[in-house]
Structures are given as C-alpha cells and as structure tokens.
Amino acid sequence: MGSSVRVKEASVVTPSEPTPPCVLALSALDSQLFLRFTIEYLLVYKPCPGVDQANTTARLKSALARALVPYYPFAGRVRSRPEGPGLEVVCAAQGAVFIEAFATRYKANDFEKAPKTVTHWRPLLSLQVADVLKGSPPLVLQLTWLADGAAAIAVGINHCLCDGIGSAEFLNYFAELANEKRETSHRCKHKPVWERHLLNSPRGKQTRVDSAGHPEFNRVPDLCGFMSLVSTGLKPTSITFDKTRLNELKRVARCTNGPGESAQYTSFEVLAAHVWRSWARAIRFPGNQKLKLVFSINVRNRVNPGLPQGYYGNAFVLGCAETSARELEERGIGFGSGLVKRAKERVGNEHVRGVMDWVWDRKGCPDPVGVLIVSQWSRLGLENIDVGMGKPSHVGPVCCDRYCLFLPVRDDSVSVKVMVALPVSAVDNYDLFMRA
C-alpha cells in the first residue's frame, strides 16, 4: 500500500520571524522514559469543491511558519541534558518538516471504518521518527491529497514537548492562521507558556514516595506470556457509542455497584470500564492474572499552585485501576467503573509531586505486563481543527495498535468512537461483548 502515496515535496519550515536562540529545560514529567516517542494524529477532510491545491499547500506552509514563532521550541531539537537528569530543547530555529503528497487509492470514505491493518494508514505520515533524541525534528506535518479530492493532514509531534492538550492547542492555533475564511486576529487563545520548572521537585527536597500509591509503576506477575498474547497478529476495531448507549452503560454500572460504591459515574468511567472488561474477556486471560487499566489525568488544576492557561507541556500523570481478570469479569461494569473513579480521586498535589520524584530520581517507568492503556482524544478539540476545508470528517491515529483511543465524532460532542487493535482470535468476541 505504500506505493499508493507519492511524496511530491518535503521541505524544512522555519519560524517566519526571529525567535530566541536558547536552551530550554524540560520538566520531570516531560522527561519520562515512556514519553520518548511521537504523537501521531490523522485528520481527514471531505472533498471541497473548487479547492486550489497549490494555494492550500502554500497557505498551510505559511501558517506553520507563523505558528512556529510563539511555539518556537517545536522548531528546535530535543536532547538529553549534558549534565544531570532530564531533557532539554536546543532552540535555534532549525525548523519543522512539511510534506506534500498525493494518494492514488485512499478516499475520504475509507476512514469511516477501522483500517484493515495496524499500519494501513502509515503512508499518510511518511517520515517516521524512530528516536526523538537523535536530532530529529520534533514536528512533522504531511498534507496528502486523496484520490477523490479529499485531503488528509497527518501530524507527528514529539511527546516530550507537549501532551494531548498542548498539542491540540497548537494545532488549533495553526488552523486559525491557515483559515482565510475566519475573521481572526491570528492570536493564540492562550499565550503559549513554557514554565517547565513548575513541574519539577525543588532541588534538595525529597518527597517520600509510597509505592502502594503508585500502582502504575509496580510490576505484576506475568502468568500468561502477556506481551506475546496482546501484541501478536493484531486487527484494528472501531465501535461508536452514542448518548443512548453511554446512558445505558451508566444504568448498568449503577446496578452492578459494589457495597458503598458511588451511584454516579462519568461517561469516561463507565466506557473505560466496559472496554477494559470486554478486552479482558475476549482475550481470555487466566482468572488470577492481575490486570491494569492505565489512563492519563490532566493535573493543570490538581497541583498547587495550578498551572497557568497556555501551559502546553506534559501536565498529566497516569491513573491506574487494578484487579484480577476474574474479578473484572464477574463483578461487572459498576465494579470496574468504581476502580477507575477511585484511581482519578487519588490524584492530588502530593500524588503529582510523588510522581515527579519517582520518575526523576528512580527513573520510574510503567511496566507493560497486564496493562491496557486508554487515551482520551475525544475531549481535546481536535474535531474543530479547520484549516479552511471545514471540520475534519475523521480524527484518529496514523497507526492503530493495542493502545485504546477514545476518539471524537464529527458534529456530536457526546458520542465517542473507541478504536483499539486486538489479536485476530479475540476480535469477534470483543465486538460481541462491547455491543452487549
């Protein structure tokens, strides 16, 4: 399928105005070992009658150059600090990469269902960064014109520089600059704020970290060859939950509460629990296998003092729900929802400071055994990124793998599309359990 996409041009785009030459330190949360990869977004836009492809390409390149002025670290290069722990960004306006390509087979309607394979959409972001610390550009954008006149914009952003909220703020600002139809001052809604020192522990002050309070970093016994079981022969799946279905999950959760459990759950809590349980049942783990559901929790308003608006660094910690495969199946959605809810409630200022010490001093990194990771893209605002071709008809990842994504649904702020890849042998049962 790779031959179906032809790259016309790849160029380096530098900030349109002078930016400060400097070296900026990243925070303890930015420097975590498990964040040293590229976030890859894929936005698909329906055919737009009368669109001038050459003009659109020029607009996007110009908008990228202007967006790199306030967000100039995205034009820098990330490296390990020469002295001491952590990472830093060398800012010398080295530039981001912009690619224009043409596809002969992909059409807009192809993205209405899950991809055929895990890497089926990989050609839509042809520059894949294997190691973000070896001088690679932290930002890559590829505009691909599809066979039916539609367009796909794939974006790769170094996760060390920002989290999902930060990357979405950058992309919406870029879209404002690119969209000639909007009356706008082309100013950031919130001025980008660096201030990474706010998420570092004070030097010389150690926080006592209780490992029991951070199950995301603790290992569990592998009773089933877990990684081989969940990573081999994967097939992508996609299921959408609308308001009616989410309300039904909440009703079921209330009916399967444990003693003393809350009767009220959010849509995220019940859907995460339902996906976790369906995934575990479909793969058929041993009953005594410990399983974890790991998900990001925004801490911008959970630390003291709170982070300023416009802070675009990694400002999340991992929430972790944990139980056995047997309990997860037998005790129902209410039980799982309660585990997710309590994992969220554990996260406050002291918890976050403990994570900083854990990753800074102990080089703590989550172990993958027993883990299903859920990432909520449905509340980032990615569905509003209009570069002058309307809102995207599809928002998702470039590659679909075993990490579960909650994706937005166009023109529906409540519905959520659940995308994850499972072993082929488990897909049918997973689909059955998810729709039950």
Q: Residue 319 forms beta bridges with which residues?
A: 295
Specify if 205 maps to a domain. no
Least confident of 120-129, 177-186, 203-212, 325-334: 203-212
Distance CA 276, CA 252 (A): 15
Closest CA to 316 of 128, 164, 172, 145: 164
Task: Tell me, yes or no, whether 357 and 406 share the same domain.
Answer: yes
Specify if 408 maps to a domain. yes
CATH of residue 424's domain is 3.30.559.10
Distance CA 423, CA 402 (A): 9
160 pLDDT above the threshold of 70: yes
Task: Tell me, yes or no, whether 185 and 228 share the same domain.
Answer: no
Task: Tell me, yes or no, whether 156 and 188 share the same domain.
Answer: yes
Q: What is the pTM of this model?
A: 0.94
Distance of CA 87 to the CA centre of its chain: 20
Using the 3D structure, point to which of 199, 230, 259 is the last residue of a domain: 199
Task: Tell me, yes or no, whether 171 and 217 share the same domain.
Answer: no
Task: Tell me, yes or no, whether 286 and 422 share the same domain.
Answer: yes
Distance CA 39, CA 429 (A): 30
Specify if 204 maps to a domain. no
Q: Quick count: other Cβ atoms within 10 Å of Cβ 414?
A: 13
287 close to 265: Cβ distance less than 8 angstroms: no
Task: Tell me, yes or no, whether 17 and 157 share the same domain.
Answer: yes
212 pLDDT above the threshold of 70: no
Specify if 415 maps to a domain. yes
Least confident of 208-217, 218-227, 308-317, 324-333: 208-217
Which of 30, 110, 163, 386 does the annotation list as catalytic? 386
Specify if 51 maps to a domain. yes
Full domain range(s) for residue 164: 2-199
Span 2-31, pLDDT tens digits = 468 999 999 999 999 999 999 999 999 999
Span 252-263, pLDDT tens digits = 999 877 666 667
Task: Tell me, yes or no, whether 221 and 158 share the same domain.
Answer: no
Task: Tell me, yes or no, whether 220 and 328 share the same domain.
Answer: yes
Span 48-66, pLDDT tens digits = 888 999 999 999 999 999 9
Using the 3D structure, point to which of 150, 174, 199 is the last residue of a domain: 199
Local structure of 385: helix, strand or coil: coil
Specify if 111 maps to a domain. yes
For the range 257-263, what are the long-range contacts, defined as Cβ-Cβ under 8 Å and sequence gap of 24 or more?
A: 257/334, 257/335, 257/338, 258/331, 258/334, 258/335, 258/338, 261/334, 261/335, 261/338, 262/338, 262/341
Task: Tell me, yes or no, whether 47 and 185 share the same domain.
Answer: yes
Which of 30, 159, 163, 394 does the annotation list as catalytic? 159
Specify if 386 maps to a domain. no
Distance of CA 241 to the CA centre of its chain: 19
Look-up of token digits 């055929």: 116
118 close to 401: Cβ distance less than 8 angstroms: yes
211 compared with 180, residue with greater pLDDT: 180
Distance CA 160, CA 358 (A): 17
Pairing mode, strands 87-91 and 77-80: antiparallel
Task: Tell me, yes or no, whether 184 and 64 share the same domain.
Answer: yes
Q: How large is the average pLDDT for residues 203-207?
A: 52
pLDDT (0 to 100) of residue 262: 63
141 close to 153: Cβ distance less than 8 angstroms: yes
Using the 3D structure, point to which of 199, 226, 241 is the last residue of a domain: 199
Q: Is 386 a catalytic residue?
A: yes
Specify if 31 maps to a domain. yes
Task: Tell me, yes or no, whether 182 and 239 share the same domain.
Answer: no
Span 77-86, pLDDT tens digits = 999 999 878 9
Pairing mode, strands 290-298 and 371-376: parallel
pLDDT (0 to 100) of residue 257: 76
pLDDT (0 to 100) of residue 205: 53
36 close to 159: Cβ distance less than 8 angstroms: yes
pLDDT band at 204 (very low <50, low <70, confident <90, very high): very low
DSSP conformation letters of 305-329: SPPPTTB-S--EEEEEEEEEHHHHH
72 close to 21: Cβ distance less than 8 angstroms: no
Distance CA 420, CA 239 (A): 9
Distance CA 53, CA 146 (A): 11
355 pLDDT above the threshold of 70: yes
pLDDT band at 288 (very low <50, low <70, confident <90, very high): very high
User: Helix axis angle, 53-67 relative to 164-178, nearest 10°?
Assistant: 130
Number of structural domains (the chain) is 2
320 close to 342: Cβ distance less than 8 angstroms: no
Output the six-digit token pair for 194.
């660096």
Distance CA 308, CA 294 (A): 26
Indicate the residue type of 407: L
Task: Tell me, yes or no, whether 289 and 418 share the same domain.
Answer: yes
pLDDT (0 to 100) of residue 83: 85
What is the DSSP code (8-state) at residue 17? S
Distance CA 432, CA 278 (A): 9
